[in-house]
Structure 1
Amino acid sequence: MTHHTRSLGKRLSLSSKGLRMACLALGLLAGMTASAGPTVQVVWSSEKNPGDGAWFNGPMSSPYALSQQASSAFTDPTSTSATSIAVDPSVQYQSILGIGTSLEESTIFNLARMSSAKRTEVLQKLLSPSTGAGMNLVRITFGTSDFTGRTFYTYDDRPYGQTDPSLTYFSIQKDIDYNIISTLKQALAVNPNLKIFASPWSPPAWMKDNQSLIGGKLLTQHIPVLATYYRKAIQAYQAQGIPIYGLTVQNEPLYTAPDYPSTHVTADQERQLIIAVRNELNANGLSGVKIWAYDHNFDSAAAYMAPIMSDATANAAVDGVAFHDYAGDPSTMTTVHNSYPSKNMLMTERSWWGTSGADRMAQYFRNWAVSYNAWVTMLDSTIKPEQWTGTPGPTMVIQNAYTYDTYWLLPEYYLIAQYSKFVQPGAKRISSTYGSSGTVTNVSFLNPDNTIVSVIINQTGSSQTFKLTSEGQELVATIPAKTVGTYKWTRQGTGTPANLLTNPGFETGTASSWTSEWHNAVLAYKVDTDYPYLGSYKLTLFEVGAYQQVLGQVKSVANGTYTASVYVRSGGGQRVLRLYAKNYGGAEKTAEIGSSAVTNYTQYTITGIQVTNGSIEIGVYTDANAYNWAAFDNFELVKN
């Protein structure tokens, strides 16, 4: 998905603050009190015995756990000497998809042993934006992984020596029987905006050279049927009311485990598989499901991705590249991003402990990750269930193995929540000083609601004083030892120009405020959740027959110069497809999208709209052939 960044230069205006600062520079206001800036919300969480197996024995207290601190405020600059973290919201990078964890079968096994009330309580603590950590992105497994309490299975297991190329025996019934489906439904009830993506550890054994779920290699001749298998799995989940947002086509394709489901898939095989899966999805009304390549460690990513992305068809089919952090360095994501800047970088598997883990998350985001997912959410106090040769470390939630409704939250839950509870979907990472592990480190974001979130991490054994500077003002603060602080404030000053459109991303779930509507035969627009650019909804123009459709919004605005824009994807084929601006006192202006396919969301812009009558209409128009489609999101109208 292509993300376009607008860097806004500083405006020259004689604001009251600008006058004060100019006077200070001239020494004319010496001795006057510094002016108050925006109020800052402050929340702390601290580590406690990170990664220690003693956590399986019972809960321990830590100094801070999403603990609200007294609010503070920015002031004009001071001469205080401290580590400086400079935050510049005018310099923006990737949009954040989400932050979350996994609901693999080990976690679901333990959740299923709880009473319904307690299970809902745990899910609320994980997923609720209001009363919990607000995690909004969850990874599941298609078939079993090593973290399961069940006999290893896929959705089409056959006796040794038998095959099923027609997938006659395909079924997700075990996912129903093992409470996976019901738990995911509960999760969606807690957070309806939850996005769920899936990863398979192994295809059915009969598709592999060793005829086993454990280890072995994918047989190339089975790639077409494996693509159909994945499509059927996505459809089966959707039939249960569980939309699948994305798919990684093979977990850790370069590792063949000796004791649990895994499969070696070469880069060329994955290239073929990605193309086959995309064709299957597109042919079955699932074009919005994202395909994420690789899903393995940093160290081999660049070499593995090169032959996939050099194939134009595979490149177009890939929405992003998924990473694990068990070998290599997060900077690899920047390397891969620079090679393929239109593709998202996703951090799909790794759990760390303590403030060093919170700092590792900061490094992921600073290296272009649009997401983060922890791996394995809840084991019990006897470290079960799982089928891995090693000994797992403590998970963010631990269940008492003897009284199932008893559980305790580890500091890792709170440390992840320092991000997930405050960084909204669609937030942009913004420019900020990283800092130093010897003092404090940082990553910062600009939320869609114009709040800035700066996560400050103190990994040291003593408290640290730092200066947070942004847009000409500063906050001097001290953070305790081994603690993560989230500092949140509303952006001040000129900032990003206000978007004057109402419901610009259709996040009401309707086209409310888009009242200028015309069609020639049948109503050919809808608001849906299929592959939005940001948030949960988008606008789609589509009809099975030839059609014409207009949808616009009329706004009363001050006279002046304006810019309008929208993000667009299109299957192509339209006679006309355009963004328009009209009824503003001048001739209609358009940004022509044209008849070619627009594979990734691309921003189309109309500049220099000179409003002279106090009103303007912004909208889209198409004259389309049968089955032509176009998707629109994040309309914007700003005054220059």
Structure 2
Amino acid sequence: MKRLKMNTILSIILSAILVGAGCSEEDKTVAPPPPVVAPDNPDNVMVVVTSRSDVSNQTNVGLRVIEDAVLAGNEENISTLRIDINQTYQEMDGFGYTLTGGSAQHLMGMSASNRKALLEELFGTDAEKGQLGISFLRLSIAASDLDEKAFSYAMVKGEDNDLLKNFSISEDQKNLIPILKEIVAIQPGIKFLSTPWSPPTWMKTNNSAIGGQLLETYYEAYADYFIKYIEAYKREGINIYAITVQNEPLHPGNEPSMLMHADEMANFIAQQLGPKFREVNIDTKIITYDHNADRPDYPIDIIKSPANEFISGSAFHLYGGDISALSQVKAADVTKDIYFTEQWVDSEDADFGGTLMWHFENIIIGATRNWAKGVMEWNLTSNSALTPRTPGGCTRCLGGLTVDDNEVNRNVAYYIIGHASKYIPVGSVRIKTNQMGNLPNVAFLTPEGKTVTLIMNNSESNTKLNLNFSGTDEKYTVSLPSNSVATIVHTKPVS
């Protein structure tokens, strides 16, 4: 995983959602964030920010409601953000992270009471209680590089008539599946997207967990491997919403990893994976690509291939390229969906503000403005040692939270995702807004009829803007601090 250069931000405003970090000791609960209290204004518009002046350290962020940020009516001679609730785009599947094997291990190391409190904070859907409402999780199919070791579910090849005789998810049953069951109990509708870093080594050209390619001889067995995984998880009460075929198929240097060119992925899907899913009535979505935005030709080639009838969309990371490439892929077949599935945070990057601002502009706003139905950052948790990891795995991947036994600190990715997940529930739809230079923005209409606008002020000065709802008489003037991120929630349904 490689990091794009992030602009330096002199000051920071985290948005609208967030919570003071807490830590806890054994037999003490992890304190949930305080409820957000809307300001007393007649128009039911809430603007909440957290500024650097509220921050005692990077993982202890205060929450501040700006009670004088909204004025009824419009001012003259300032920019206007027009929100058109009648022009809709994609419906959202949610926001979240990857729950790696390491993340599950960290969470299982907590006391039961502390873990319950933390999982309720993360996955509960009551914003008034400060719960984040994380609604989308990516899982690794067998090991990722943030597991203790590279492993598959079929380490030993079976006989010719039963190649997957030794298939077992026992490694996942140690930590990952118990955590997933606790999460599902909190949020039964949560969606899981699962991704392999490597197939079993005996299916590969180099018989190694690192690199190599999938032997065509084993296309059928590998398709069966996916089916066995989905069925095994279903027996555990965990439904897999979607899979991607290969994590970062053009990056064969990770541990584990595999090189898989577009024609190989297309052939595997068209010849085996898609038909086999259909044959056994697997309704799990097949998502293609799962790599950087600098190669839109890769998913477009698959979209134009016979694999098209079996795929539901394409997934992206942004360690290279421009986020606008997602729209290019969407245009190749508007019936196919777009997902953003990974972006890491570097533990050695001390610029909390710059990291937040870059991710918010490029991932939260950028990906959703370019058709992403789901947006996920990388690992949900890390510990202070940034372990476990495979010998060749990521040594600097900072989780959304740092969890050391029962001590919990919330890092920048917690705020990046929570910014959106807390106020934009599953089923919300993106609605039209105008682009505004130093005020990147995106807006959504929730199932309850509320509008949620995510907006940044990239200028060095405080900025006022008019907020108009097209086709209605709803008009407001909103004040945004310099170099800030804000979530604006119009709590009165707009029709």
Q: TM-score, normalised by structure 1?
A: 0.64
Select which of 221, 226, 242 maps to 1:225: 221
Equivalent position SS for 1:466: strand
Alignment partner, residue 186 of structure 1: 182
* Paired residues of 1:59 and 1:408 also in contact (CA < 8 A): no
**How many Å separate the matches in 1 of 2:235 and 2:52?**
42
**How many Å separate the matches in 2 of 1:253 and 1:460?**
38
> What is the one-letter code of the residue matched to 2:156?
R
> What is the one-letter code of the residue matched to 1:386?
R
* Paired residues of 2:274 and 2:310 also in contact (CA < 8 A): yes
Equivalent position SS for 2:44: strand
Which has the higher relative contact order, 1 or 2, with Cα contacts under 8 A spaced 6 or more apart?
2
Pairwise CA distance, 1:59: 5.8
* Paired residues of 2:145 and 2:394 also in contact (CA < 8 A): no
Alignment partner, residue 449 of structure 1: 448
Equivalent position SS for 1:327: strand
Pairwise CA distance, 1:73: 5.8
**How many Å separate the matches in 2 of 1:416 and 1:335?**
25
> What is the one-letter code of the residue matched to 2:107?
L
Q: Does residue 375 in structure 1 map to residue 378 in structure 2? A: yes
**How many Å separate the matches in 1 of 2:54 and 2:203?**
45
What is the count of residue pairs matched by the alignment?
438
Q: Does residue 77 in structure 1 map to residue 74 in structure 2? A: yes
Where do 1:229-628 residues align within 5 Å? 229-257=225-253, 259-275=254-270, 276-286=272-282, 288-301=283-296, 303-312=297-306, 314-351=307-344, 353-360=355-362, 361-387=364-390, 388=392, 391-400=395-404, 404-437=405-438, 440-471=439-470, 472-490=473-491, 495=495
* Paired residues of 1:110 and 1:399 also in contact (CA < 8 A): yes
> What is the one-letter code of the residue matched to 1:39?
N
Q: Tell me the C-alpha RMSD between the 2 structures.
A: 2.6
> What is the one-letter code of the residue matched to 1:357?
H
- With over 3 angstroms needed to count, the CA separation of the structure-2 counterparts of 1:396 and 1:468, relative to structure 1, is same
Equivalent position SS for 1:110: helix
* Paired residues of 1:297 and 1:328 also in contact (CA < 8 A): yes
After superposing the two structures, state which structure 1 stretch, 103-112 or 466-475, moved more. 466-475
Equivalent position SS for 2:164: coil
List runs of 5+ in structure 2 lacking aligned partners: 1-40, 346-354
Deviations 1:61-106 (A, max 9, x none): 33x44x4443876634332x33332211111111111111111112
**How many Å separate the matches in 2 of 1:138 and 1:266?**
26
Deviations 1:290-322 (A, max 9, x none): 110111111112x2123322234x111101111
Q: Does residue 213 in structure 1 map to residue 209 in structure 2? A: yes
> What is the one-letter code of the residue matched to 2:319?
Y
> What is the one-letter code of the residue matched to 1:249?
V
* Paired residues of 1:37 and 1:74 also in contact (CA < 8 A): no
**How many Å separate the matches in 2 of 1:234 and 1:190?**
21
Equivalent position SS for 1:293: strand
> What is the one-letter code of the residue matched to 1:61?
N
Equivalent position SS for 1:242: coil
Alignment partner, residue 43 of structure 1: 48
* Paired residues of 2:48 and 2:488 also in contact (CA < 8 A): yes
Alignment partner, residue 91 of structure 2: 95
Alignment partner, residue 635 of structure 1: none
> What is the one-letter code of the residue matched to 2:268?
L
**How many Å separate the matches in 1 of 2:382 and 2:414?**
14
**Which structure carries more strand by proportion?**
1
Q: Does residue 107 in structure 1 map to residue 121 in structure 2? A: no
Deviations 1:497-538 (A, max 9, x none): xxxxxxxxxxxxxxxxxxxxxxxxxxxxxxxxxxxxxxxxxx
- With over 3 angstroms needed to count, the CA separation of the structure-2 counterparts of 1:126 and 1:163, relative to structure 1, is farther
Deviations 1:187-225 (A, max 9, x none): 111211111110000000000000011111111121111
* Paired residues of 2:376 and 2:417 also in contact (CA < 8 A): no
Percentage of matched positions with identical amino acids: 28
- With over 3 angstroms needed to count, the CA separation of the structure-2 counterparts of 1:162 and 1:326, relative to structure 1, is farther
* Paired residues of 1:396 and 1:409 also in contact (CA < 8 A): yes
Where do 1:30-179 residues align within 5 Å? 38-46=43-51, 60-62=59-61, 64-65=62-63, 67-70=64-67, 75-79=72-76, 81-130=77-126, 131=129, 132-148=131-147, 150-158=148-156, 166-177=163-174, 179=175
**How many Å separate the matches in 2 of 1:60 and 1:129?**
22
* Paired residues of 1:415 and 1:484 also in contact (CA < 8 A): no
Equivalent position SS for 1:300: coil
Equivalent position SS for 2:379: coil
Equivalent position SS for 2:455: strand
Pairwise CA distance, 1:282: 2.1
> What is the one-letter code of the residue matched to 1:354?
L
Q: TM-score, normalised by structure 2?
A: 0.82
Equivalent position SS for 1:326: strand
* Paired residues of 2:92 and 2:428 also in contact (CA < 8 A): yes
